[in-house]
Amino acid sequence: MKKTNSWAVDYRMIYFLKAFLMVLIFQFSGWTNIANAQTFDEARDLAFNGERAKAREVCRAILDRGFNADVALLIGRTFAWDGEYDSARVYINKVLKYNPDYMDAISAMVDVEYWSENYSKAVEYCNFALQKDSTAQDFWMKKAEILYSNEKIEKAVDVLENYLKMDPGNGEFLKKLRNYRLDLLKNTLRILYTVDFFDAEFNRDPWQIMSMSYGRETEIGSVIARVNLANRFGMTGYQYEIDAYPKFTENSYAYVNYGFSQNTIFPKHRFGFEWHQSFPKAFEGSIGLRLMGFENSNVDIYTATIGKYFSKYWLSLRSFVTPGDEETAVSGLLVLRRYFSDPENYLGLWLGYGISPDDNRNLIDSKERLNLKSRYVRLEYNRLFNRVWILKTGAVLGSEEKTTEGFAGYYTFDVGISFLF
């Protein structure tokens, strides 16, 4: 018998055993990964359902088989949610030592320092993340919120403004900047002048209205006092109004209005109430009513809106419904705004049908006027200058039903200036 044949058999046997062992190792590794994934999912579900101590037990069992950054981070987050910030730091720092570029871990550490009111350290971690990715939106927002909580409102405004230079029109940042700026500049003086010109069929002189208002941001929300001075049909009249925008949560507030006049070109009394709510995915909505009291009658008007931010654009649809004895008057307004690098910098387009009780141009002096049909297009431009001045201009091209019959055209121009201090 030749020895070479025995050697060949042994070689093939060894090769076969090695291959078999490799298959077993890879198969076992796959089973282990699947088991880890399933167990981690269970731990995460426990954590999100409030059973955080059980979640940590499961995570520790996984870590006994080897380090896993996601698992360690989940332990750190559960400690943070329970207010055990020192324990949270231990685990999150282990993750960052293992992978310094893990943005979720940096975000978790920002939350730990923020929630423990260690604001300067939280800002440092935000800056650390932004050095790695200067476009990381979450860290820009976290940094602004931390500075605001630390009463460094001007710095928080700077952060939001700087981000909007990179991403103009971001709806979330525009809303936040608008709110923070109100806390920085709590007072607003505003003057608005509007003039209407009519086609010859109306046989009217131009209508004019001037509004002067003062607004103040308070702990419960904005409060605005306003005087409207109007001239039409050869008569001059005053209306006195007060608006309030009480805040209830970060995502909800109300509009409350009362107006009074002793002149017939205005309603004698005007009431308004509307609830505004923000929803996920940049949706907003509202529902409310307007009540108008005239000398011989009262009118109830119901209104609702829905709106959404699309990248740099804001689109909203509002309707007014006025029930009547003979017919129900319905009006609608579609508004599209294109925002730039500030919530006060935008171009707007309005498409309207019917008479809107919220439009200052419509000096509603009778119930019958609400039933008139109207169609109009409005272009508007709003611009902030030097952080404290706001210029507002607009032009309207429309046609309105005459009280006799048929339609005739009108043209509206308005200009306003606001001073923030």
In tens digits, the chain (421 residues) has pLDDT values of: 444 455 444 555 555 555 555 544 444 444 344 344 458 888 888 888 888 898 898 888 888 888 999 999 999 999 999 999 999 999 999 999 999 999 999 999 999 999 999 999 999 999 999 999 999 999 999 999 999 999 999 999 999 999 999 998 888 899 899 889 888 889 999 999 999 998 888 888 899 999 999 999 998 999 999 999 999 888 899 999 999 999 999 899 999 999 999 988 888 999 999 999 999 988 999 999 999 888 878 889 999 999 999 888 999 999 999 887 777 888 999 999 999 988 999 999 999 998 777 776 666 655 666 667 889 999 999 999 988 999 999 999 999 887 656 788 899 999 999 999 9
Q: Return d(Cα 337, Cα 308) in angstroms, integer.
A: 11
Domains identified in the chain, total number:
1
DSSP, residue by residue, 366-377? STGGGG--EEEE
Q: Give the model's pLDDT for residue 108.
A: 96
172 CB burial (10 A radius; 0-12, 13-18, 19+): middle
Give all strands (DSSP E) within 233-323, no chain letters.
Answer: 235-249, 252-260, 269-279, 283-293, 298-310, 313-322
Residue 376 falls within a domain, yes or no? yes
> Do the strands 207-218 and 187-198 form a parallel or antiparallel pair, or are they unpaired?
antiparallel
- Residue 75's contacts (CB-CB under 8 Å, 6 or more residues apart) are 55, 56, 59, 60, 91
Q: Which amino acid, one-letter code, is at 144?
A: A
Report which of 83, 78, 108 is spatially closest to residue 93, judged by C-alpha positions: 108
| pTM listed for this prediction | 0.73
Is 115 a member of any domain?
A: no
The structure tokens listed for 94 are 């282990």
Query: How long, in residues, is the chain?
Result: 421
Residue 100 within a domain: no
The number of CA neighbours under 13 Å toward the Cβ of 26 is 5
For residue 347, what pLDDT is reported? 97
Residue 154: inside a domain: no
Tokens at 178, concatenated: 């608008």
H or E element at residue 95: helix 85-98
Q: CATH number, domain at 365?
A: 2.40.160.40
Total Cβ atoms within 10 A of residue 370? 20
Confirm whether 270 is domain-assigned: yes
pLDDT of residue 1: 45
Domain range enclosing 284: 185-420
pLDDT at 287: 98
**Measured distance CA(238)–CA(261) in Å, rounded:** 6
Distance between CA 187 and CA 213 in Å, rounded? 11
Contacts of 193 (CB under 8 A, 6+ apart): 208, 209, 210, 414, 415, 416
pLDDT of residue 84: 95
- Predicted local confidence at residue 75, as pLDDT: 93
In a domain, 249, yes or no: yes
Between the CA of residue 214 and those of 144, 226, 421, what are the distances in Å? Answer: 28, 7, 11
Long-range CB contact pairs, 199-208, < 8 A, 24+: 199/408, 199/409, 199/410, 201/402, 201/406, 201/408, 202/402, 202/408, 202/410, 204/232, 204/233, 205/232, 205/234, 207/231, 207/232, 207/361, 207/363, 208/232
Strand-pair partners of 200:
none
In a domain? residue 233: yes
Report if residue 147 sits inside a domain: no
